[in-house]
Structure 1
């Protein structure tokens, strides 16, 4: 009698679970190729919500979806025999299911299917701005204070947030800079949301962004067109010529807000006159106002923002006062220092044409 050793039993094919994640910030139906492959070849596709935004596109592509919300044990059993089951969680995911699968796998008592987390779509750069617009819309509708605000009522906040942003830049705090940029961005989104409700001339944040994109493209022919610009001065010249053609201004002083701080206003006027080739002498007069005007014009001609320079000096004065009081100086080392040419360390730099380089003007 021949004895034969018993062969070990083949391990059961436990199958495969695919958790398909999608970004709600990407248009439904725009899925990655691996995602479409998984959906088309799966033995079963499950979704717990009948109104999931992806479903119409899956249906159009011929993918059958069953509406079910199995627990971890049921899902494992559904994969028995080598079946592949794709699960489409809701926008917030399915913590109940994933926690249950983790507990089963950790118990060591269950033969687990292969588990794959498959991203079906990814956030694009700037995708969180969509969240901001959505949150702002809800806050505008549901918050008693926010729902009553107007453009005019928010003016003071726009000014305050702008100054706080300048302070964060000059103090050199990266954390505060990030936060203050967000506060300034909030003002833009807030005003755009209010503008949607105007009965005569409504516009949205998309209109604001679209106008800005058109302006940036048009004012950068050296980037988006055939023009050439090798230096910052060339860029400034392009910028000023384009603005002049767009605005059809009669004077180089048109468009300068007279309500801005005095030193900044004086420097802006001097820069516009110099860039526009307007030969005009500074007005003569007695008193500190005319002295400040001359200093502001000189600073602008030397490439220094007089407002920034004065704030740096004022901070030094503040520290001197605190020292005289027996307190510690509050200014971080290096904040607001000037280089050897008397220019600030990049804060408040000009565009080479005498004006602050920005798209908004």
Structure 2
């Protein structure tokens, strides 16, 4: 195999890896861009005589596989290059000639999908389903790309997915001075890092209240826990938590106290709810096996998993 010969992988957005530049500059022949490659046999023979670069989507393509089998290295795309492909696909869907449904959406119509996909990802995590996690993470990413693409079309206050990424990078770097700025004596472990994160956030956003920035639209148990966590850092006394005989005050107090004790009440309650749903299905299934389709109170007690001998 002639020195300089290589298989270079490209993404759907026609992005090539930087590491391929020396090979491309020194190649006698570059196939797969403007010129299709010859058949695998002649391609390998040519590559033995002079440097050849084959640009391919996959190393499994017949011509690429033949070069690799003959000893040619594969120069792949860097981690994250697939995000460029995802952006390109989203742009295609949203552009003229793309998908009519995608073209009609805006931030408001997409809100329901962002919530749905987030909860589907949460369920996949709780189930430990790795394949579902991979799929649902993609669906959540789609929502980010979709909203960013819609935002790029705004008439007076447009921003792009690159602006979103740049702001995220700036935030991560700014909130981790112990990593990116040569050290931070205030950070000694994960607990002090959380405190430092909130301090830096407070400085950046110039918030006047300890509860500024708490998303009031999140589920109520998680909201109560977050409010308790934020106010505790501000020195709020526990005895001033809401009191009363109504269910709202009781639920708030339970969620707040659980969070202050180091628990995650939203996760704990979801786990109990999922177990309850599973027990309901199990009881209904056991009843159907005995020909019972409508359960009365005694049937529920009889078939409830805790009362069934295994």
Q: CA deviation at 1:249?
A: 0.8
Of 225, 242, 248, 1:267 maps to 225
2:24 paired with 1:24:
no
What's 1:152 paired with? 108
Q: Residues 338-349 of structure 1 correspond to what in structure 2 (within 5 A)? A: none
Of 16, 23, 48, 1:35 maps to 23
What's 1:138 paired with? 92
Question: Which structure features the higher share of helix residues?
Answer: 2
Of 184, 188, 191, 1:227 maps to 184
CA contact (8 A) 2:6 2:52 kept: yes
Alignment partners' CA distance in 2, 1:198 and 1:292: 42
Of 188, 197, 201, 1:243 maps to 201
2:280 paired with 1:321:
yes
2:143 paired with 1:184:
no
TM-score normalized with structure 2 length? 0.77
Q: Structure 1 residues 77 and 256, CA, compared in 2 at 3 Å: closer, same or farther?
A: closer
Of 186, 206, 212, 2:168 maps to 212
Question: Secondary structure in 2 aligned to 1:22?
Answer: strand
Question: Secondary structure in 2 aligned to 1:266?
Answer: helix
Q: Structure 1 residues 186 and 200, CA, compared in 2 at 3 Å: closer, same or farther?
A: same
Question: Secondary structure in 1 aligned to 2:9?
Answer: coil
Q: Residues 1-361 of structure 1 correspond to what in structure 2 (within 5 A)? A: 20-25=6-11, 30-32=18-20, 35=23, 40=26, 44-45=28-29, 47=31, 50=34, 70-71=38-39, 84-92=49-57, 115-119=70-74, 121-141=75-95, 142-225=98-181, 226-228=183-185, 229-279=187-237, 281-327=240-286
TM-score normalized with structure 1 length? 0.67
Q: CA deviation at 1:286?
A: 2.5
Per-residue Cα deviation, 1:307-328 (whole angstroms, up to 9, x for no partner): 1111111122223322332449
Per-residue Cα deviation, 1:107-159 (whole angstroms, up to 9, x for no partner): xxxxxxx954244x431111111111111111222011111110110000000
Alignment partners' CA distance in 2, 1:258 and 1:190: 24
Number of corresponding residues: 278
What's 1:12 paired with? none
Root mean square deviation, CA, Å: 3.2
Per-residue Cα deviation, 1:89-120 (whole angstroms, up to 9, x for no partner): 35447967569x79xxxxxxxxxxx954244x
Alignment partners' CA distance in 2, 1:153 and 1:313: 32
CA contact (8 A) 2:37 2:54 kept: no
Question: Secondary structure in 1 aligned to 2:117?
Answer: helix
Greater relative CO (CA pairs within 8 A, separation 6+): 1
Per-residue Cα deviation, 1:65-107 (whole angstroms, up to 9, x for no partner): xx7865567667868xxx82333435447967569x79xxxxx
Alignment partners' CA distance in 2, 1:28 and 1:320: 53
> Which structure's CA Rg is the greater one?
1
